[in-house]
Amino acid sequence: MWDSSMFLSTLTPKFYVALTGTSSLISGLILIFEWWYFRKYGTSFIEQVSINHISPWINGGDTSSETNGNASGTSSSSGSSNGGSPPGGQQMPECKVWRNPLNLFRGAEYQRFFWATSKEPLTYYDMNLSAQDHQTFFTCEGDVRKEEYEIMQTAWRERNPVQRIKSAHNALEINPDCAPAYILLAEEEATTIVEAERILRSALKVAEQNYRKSQATQHQGPIAEGMHRRDTNVLIYIRRRLAMCARKLGKLKEAAKMFRDLTKEIPSIMNVLNIHENLIETLLEMQAYADCQAVLAKYDDISLPKSATICYTAALLKARAVADKFSPDIASKRGLSPAEMCAVEAIHRAVEFNPHVPKYLLETKPLILPPEHILKRGDSEALAYAFFHLKHWKNIEGALNLLHCTWEGTFRMLPYPLERGHLFYPYPTCTECADRELLPAFHEVSVYPKKELPFFILFTAGLCSFTALLALLTHQYPEPMGFLAQTVLTWISYPFQLLKERVEAFWPCNLLQHLSRV
């Protein structure tokens, strides 16, 4: 029989050094891979493989069928928005990217940031989404064989901004009434808001002419109807951008009137632009709080999609009534008044919808230029909201102080935000990945809830450190560590040695020979 004590006595200290060193190297490589996978995908690779592959194999087909059922339930609810009060038993809707209602001008704002910092403020993913939007709303089937519109179709997809601008000029040389070409020049060639407004006013005249022409022929077939829809989208987009230019140039009354007029329109593009958020921001700048409350009463409805602008503006207006006299010390002694309780509940509601906003409003996290598209309830939406609304919170005395004292109380009501919400759907799990695609690489994406390090990363880190320490001690003190290793292995092998002796005592040694004879 094999004698373990003889085998252990033949092992030299070099063997233990090699063993512990190899173990430390392997566990270190596993640790590095796990850390990289966690930083990129937000989960442990070993844990994911265990759940998705090993667990279904052990448990049979029940887990896989249940997973498929959950997946189908989630996908079927993707048409709903990320807002509203969740009825019992409904699945959480999946993430949807929206166009930023207050997106900046590329030439007059984003490009100037690049010139000053040499950092790209927009990602290719974000710009590609904008190109898809422009192709959807500014082109139609009637543009076939029209050279200027075919040029614009490819211009929106062009990555090089110089080539895009050149294509727009070529389209205008072919047809001076090509309104989409004016839009591209106002967005990208104009280096100031005044210049962009001038180009957009020229585009407005052309767009109105094209709209009147297509309106007269819209009933002559589906192609004519598509051309009229395209001209309507172009006209509304230009009017919206002109209103935004007026807002940026300080012509607030003019901007508010233009936004009010646009909110009365009903074409399909209005569902994408969310112009009521532009109107809310303009009214806050005018400090027309009563008018702003009237707009909120229209759009802050349980059946309509929510946004950070709606939720946080509602909280701001309620905080305005009590913020100047609010004191956390006095409130802790006498309790909250009904008005203060209403304001605090509104803040908790807003924080539950988008928990990333308070850090930007309280300036504990740096702001960057907002992207052209946002993810509701995500970091991108928080950036877009705080970029334009931080000054409105500062204009109301005590509002930021009230927010600072109360916003973290929201999380006590949401112990498991990914599983169950309080006033809204559970917080979506896909926001981090989508925000990393929308936001530039130099920005540190805010993650909620804060992810703890997976068990396997901590385990491999401990294993790597322990084996590295053993390798170092064995190299420095070979004889004591060799004796210690032999002692530990002897202790570990003792139960097995005892079990082997008991088995040999119970069964005869020639049992196999007797069985072979039978």
Degrees (nearest 5) of the Cα angle 290, 296, 300?
155
pLDDT at position 59 is 63
Pick from 109, 108, 111: nearest CA to 195: 108
pLDDT at position 309 is 93
DSSP run (H or E) holding 97: strand 97-99
251: left (phi over 0), alpha (psi -120 to 50) or beta: beta
CA separation for the pair 31, 34 (Å, rounded): 5
Instruction: Please count the other Cβ atoms lying within 10 Å of the Cβ belonging to residue 508.
Output: 10
Show the beta-strand stretches assigned E in 315-406. 373-375
pLDDT at position 44 is 66
pLDDT at position 452 is 54
Residue in the structure block whose two tokens are 């210690």: 484
Cβ contact 130:164 at 8 Å:
no
pLDDT at position 63 is 41
Pick from 366, 229, 370, 227: nearest CA to 308: 370
Pick from 127, 172, 177: nearest CA to 151: 172
pLDDT at position 6 is 58
Cβ contact 414:424 at 8 Å:
no
Q: Is 517 helix (H, G, I), strand (E, B) or coil?
A: helix
Report CA-CA distances (Å) from 166 to 150, 152, 426: 14, 10, 47
pTM of the model as a whole = 0.72
CA separation for the pair 101, 277 (Å, rounded): 7
The residues facing 99 across adjacent strands are: 373
Pick from 338, 342, 316: nearest CA to 399: 316
pLDDT at position 271 is 73
| Structural Rg of the chain based on CA atoms | 33
pLDDT at position 426 is 80
pLDDT at position 89 is 39
pLDDT at position 513 is 61
CA separation for the pair 460, 44 (Å, rounded): 12
Cβ contact 271:79 at 8 Å:
no
pLDDT at position 298 is 87
Residue in the structure block whose two tokens are 């012509």: 251
Task: Give me the amino acid identity at 241.
Answer: R
CA separation for the pair 211, 207 (Å, rounded): 6
pLDDT at position 18 is 75
CA separation for the pair 482, 20 (Å, rounded): 12
Q: Taking each helix axis from N to C terminus, what angle separates 193-217 and 222-248, rounded to the nearest 10 degrees?
A: 160
Kindly list the averaged pLDDT for each block of 10 residues, start to end, along the chain of length 518.
55 68 76 72 67 64 42 36 43 70 92 92 92 88 85 88 92 92 93 94 93 86 88 93 95 94 78 88 94 89 80 93 82 80 91 92 92 92 95 92 85 69 76 88 83 62 73 74 76 79 68 58
